[in-house]
């Protein structure tokens, strides 16, 4: 007898828009489950992530009732996992256990059964996971056959399950078939039957073929709604499985594990599925890896070589994207604070720290921390929700008792201190080593990180852009790993890249011929070495002072900036420049100091978001997606009507202001797309006026709810 395990994983990230989730429900989740419901002989191992589960409870309880009936008649086994779909390997062990138990308890309340196995988010395996899985009452987990092949096994040794352990705690590990992931639902059902017959012929007694992949491919991925439902692929698939019933038996993971012995013991390496290894590599290496992999496939003994061919690991995303690393370290910071907080109850008797823990767990949802062919990190609204939940958790844990808190700590584990300045309304996070820059500005009342920008990083797939077609032009259903589509023509015009992470309070020096177009396209020449240079810092009472002795036009020059709070909701920065001595007029003629801010409000560049200017310039377009240069500006505000927020910049003398949107070209399941990641503001003032008797320059920032 050959067995078949059909495992489907449905997931929506924390913070996704209601209309997007509703469309997924109508297009894929509901029609898929209804068709399975009508075929009670077909078994299903089923996982729904916690955020989506909560959404279904609120919006479509009838769906859960149908699913519960399938559980009660033994057709469906519900799988657990981390509640908000975290990458378990990169969150603290206490949070791993907490997320798994939270999910198990929720499933037991909804379906009357406690899960024995888990879906592992993005199949990111770490050898230390068995200990925490068993500690949370879990018996098995499903990963990819890729994991097993990297440990030295062959594909024909993977028609069963193995046992692995960590420190004596054992779990069963099942290998999902990579071949089935590409067959289902993208190829005719006849080819699926051929594969299953191959399992039957391989000689292993009680062998099992395992499909374990996303439910979104049954209707949401490009072209699949028509192919899977209108053209009858799913109907044909289910009929074929029933037709093969004389030798093929659909089972759940638990049924199979209860009736069949493991094939042996295995120790899996740190890895994920094959495609993740490509995406996690640095851009050029990613492109080269994919090119070489395709080349090896054509070699005479290519498959044998590919057994030992592996890309990067998931943690590479934390070095590839400094924004992802910062979010991750902010999450760890909140987790540590929560772990050391004293339990307390608020005035209404609620368990405050439990609410804080829920916000922390939501912030651990994996999607915003990485990027492959899904939007992920490139979607501002997902990053916004991570920071919102972290700040709400911090608010519940409690703030510093002092009016102003300043402390130095190595926030991002780079062996250099960052500096945190706080009032009860604002957090400011500075990186002295990276330009003395301001990397995070938090408005606590709105739980908003105003610095939630993403830099324009070069990606390996940008080399494919010239080959892309028009979105929707492909009429067939194809795996998103095989499609190259674009959502708008001419995207190559927006391929502009940054060399360092975008932050605020970075200083650049430009000539009078430099313009906003040059700066937005990264074509400008910086005449100084302060933009990303290391600054010395000193905490002086309730103020923070930065200073760097660098060069301007290759001559010794220094910049000092002193930061202090002007109120609970505002701060100011005082600049002092020194150097070049008596030759200053000659060296600085026409040179301007630019002070750069990069910000992203929750409403992005939407219709409720705008600039407001005070000065002599006449402005026609004030949207946050606009580009332009203005002179004699004394004050500028960024207003977000969506989140009722205003941030205002005021200068102590009129300046020239550059503004432009930060836009990226990224890949999603629907093709190449352009995304707004924030707005850049550069305040420009002639250097000679700062070296003369007038001296210095002060910029003030105020944040308020409107």
Burial class (CB in 10 A: 0-12, 13-18, 19+), 555: middle
> What are the Cα distances from residue 14, in Å, to 315, 364, 383, 600, 617?
21, 9, 10, 19, 42
- Return the residue matching tokens 């559980």: 71
Torsion of CA 39, 41, 45, 51, to 10 degrees: 30
Tokens of 302: 């290519």
Catalytic residue among 85, 95, 122, 325: 122
Q: Give the C-alpha separation, 682 to 656, whole Å.
A: 8
Q: Quick check: is 105 catalytic?
A: no
Distance CA 101, CA 135 (A): 10
Count Cα atoms within 13 angstroms, Cβ side, for 562: 12
| CA atoms of 171 and 164, how far apart (whole Å) | 6
Going from the C-alpha of 97 to that of each of 79, 86, 692, the distances in angstroms are 15, 11, 62
Q: Which 8-state DSSP code applies to residue 604?
A: T
The C-alpha angle with vertex 200 and arms to 197 and 204, in degrees rounded to 5, equals 155
Half-sphere exposure of 92 (CA within 13 A, CB side): 17
Q: Which parts of 477-627 are beta strand (E)?
A: 485-486, 506-510, 536-540, 543-552, 555-567, 570-579, 592-599, 609-615
Per DSSP, helices labelled H in 143-216 are 145-150, 178-183, 189-201
State the maximum Cα–Cα separation within the chain, in Å, rounded to a whole number. 95
Asked if residues 189 and 236 have their Cβ atoms less than 8 Å apart, the reply is yes
Catalytic residue among 30, 135, 165, 214: 214
122 is catalytic: yes
CB 531 within 8 A of CB 508: yes
Classify 678 in phi/psi space as left (phi over 0), alpha (psi -120 to 50) or beta.
left
Active site positions, annotated = 122, 214
């Amino acid at each position: 007898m050959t067995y078949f395990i059909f495992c489907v994983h449905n997931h929506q990230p924390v913070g996704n828009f209601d209309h997007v989730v509703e469309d997924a429900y109508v297009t894929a989740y509901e029609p898929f489950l209804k068709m399975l419901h009508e075929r009670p002989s077909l078994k299903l191992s089923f996982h729904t992530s916690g955020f989506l589960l909560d959404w279904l409870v609120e919006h479509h309880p009838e769906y859960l009732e149908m699913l519960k009936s399938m559980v009660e008649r033994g057709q469906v086994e519900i799988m657990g996992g981390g509640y908000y779909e975290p990458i378990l390997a990169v969150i603290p062990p206490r949070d791993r256990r907490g997320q798994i138990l939270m999910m198990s308890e929720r499933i037991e309340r909804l379906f009357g059964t406690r899960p024995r196995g888990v879906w592992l988010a993005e199949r990111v395996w770490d050898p230390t996971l068995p200990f925490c899985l068993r500690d949370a009452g879990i018996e098995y987990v499903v990963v990819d056959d890729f994991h097993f092949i990297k440990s030295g096994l062959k594909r024909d040794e993977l028609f069963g399950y193995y046992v692995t352990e960590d420190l004596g705690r054992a779990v069963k590990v099942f290998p999902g078939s990579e071949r089935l992931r590409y067959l289902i639902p993208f190829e005719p059902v006849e080819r699926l039957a051929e594969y299953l017959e191959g399992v039957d012929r391989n000689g292993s007694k009680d062998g099992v073929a395992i499909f374990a992949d996303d439910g979104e491919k049954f209707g949401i991925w490009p072209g699949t709604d028509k192919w899977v439902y209108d053209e009858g692929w799913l109907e044909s698939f289910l009929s074929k499985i029933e037709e093969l019933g004389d030798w093929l038996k659909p089972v759940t993971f638990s049924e199979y594990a209860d009736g069949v012995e493991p094939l042996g013991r295995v120790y899996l390496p740190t890895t994920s599925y094959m495609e993740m290894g490509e995406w996690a590599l640095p851009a050029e290496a990613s492109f080269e890896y994919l090119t070489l992999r395709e080349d090896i496939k054509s070699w005479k003994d290519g498959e044998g070589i590919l057994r030992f061919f592996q890309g990067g690991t998931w943690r590479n995303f934390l070095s590839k994207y400094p924004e992802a690393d910062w979010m991750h370290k902010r999450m760890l910071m909140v987790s540590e604070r929560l772990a050391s907080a004293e339990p307390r109850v608020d005035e209404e008797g609620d368990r405050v720290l439990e609410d804080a823990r829920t916000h922390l767990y939501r912030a651990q949802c994996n999607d915003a921390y990485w990027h492959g062919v899904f939007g992920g990190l490139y979607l501002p609204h997902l990053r916004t929700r991570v920071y919102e939940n972290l700040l709400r958790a911090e608010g519940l844990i409690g703030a510093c008792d002092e009016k102003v808190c300043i402390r130095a700590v190595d926030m991002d584990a780079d062996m250099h201190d960052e500096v945190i300045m706080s009032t009860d309304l604002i957090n400011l996070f500075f990186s002295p080593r990276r330009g003395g820059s301001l990397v995070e500005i938090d408005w606590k009342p709105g739980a908003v990180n105003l610095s939630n920008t993403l830099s324009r990083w070069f990606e390996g797939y940008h080399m494919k852009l010239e080959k892309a077609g028009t979105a929707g032009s492909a009429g067939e259903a194809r795996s998103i790993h095989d499609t190259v589509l674009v959502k708008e023509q001419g995207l190559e015009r927006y391929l502009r890249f940054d060399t360092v992470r975008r932050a605020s309070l970075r200083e650049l020096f430009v000539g009078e011929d430099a313009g906003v177009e040059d700066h937005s396209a990264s074509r400008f020449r910086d005449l100084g070495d302060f933009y990303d240079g290391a600054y010395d810092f000193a905490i002086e009472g309730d103020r923070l002072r930065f200073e760097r002795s660098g060069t301007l036009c290759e001559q010794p020059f220094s910049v000092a900036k002193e930061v202090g709070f002007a109120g609970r909701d505002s701060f100011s920065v005082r600049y002092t420049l020194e150097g070049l001595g008596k030759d200053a007029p000659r060296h600085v003629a026409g040179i301007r100091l630019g002070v750069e801010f990069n910000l992203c409000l929750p409403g992005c560049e939407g219709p409720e978001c705008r600039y407001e200017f005070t000065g002599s310039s006449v402005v026609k377009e004030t949207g946050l997606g606009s580009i332009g240069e203005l002179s004699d500006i004394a004050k500028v505000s960024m207003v977000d009507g969506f989140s009722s927020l205003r941030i205002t910049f005021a200068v102590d003398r009129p300046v020239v202001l550059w503004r432009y949107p930060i836009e990226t070209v990224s890949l999603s399941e629907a093709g190449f797309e352009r995304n707004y990641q924030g707005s850049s503001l550069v305040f420009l003032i002639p250097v000679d006026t700062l070296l003369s008797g007038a001296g210095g320059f002060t910029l003030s920032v105020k944040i308020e709810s409107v």
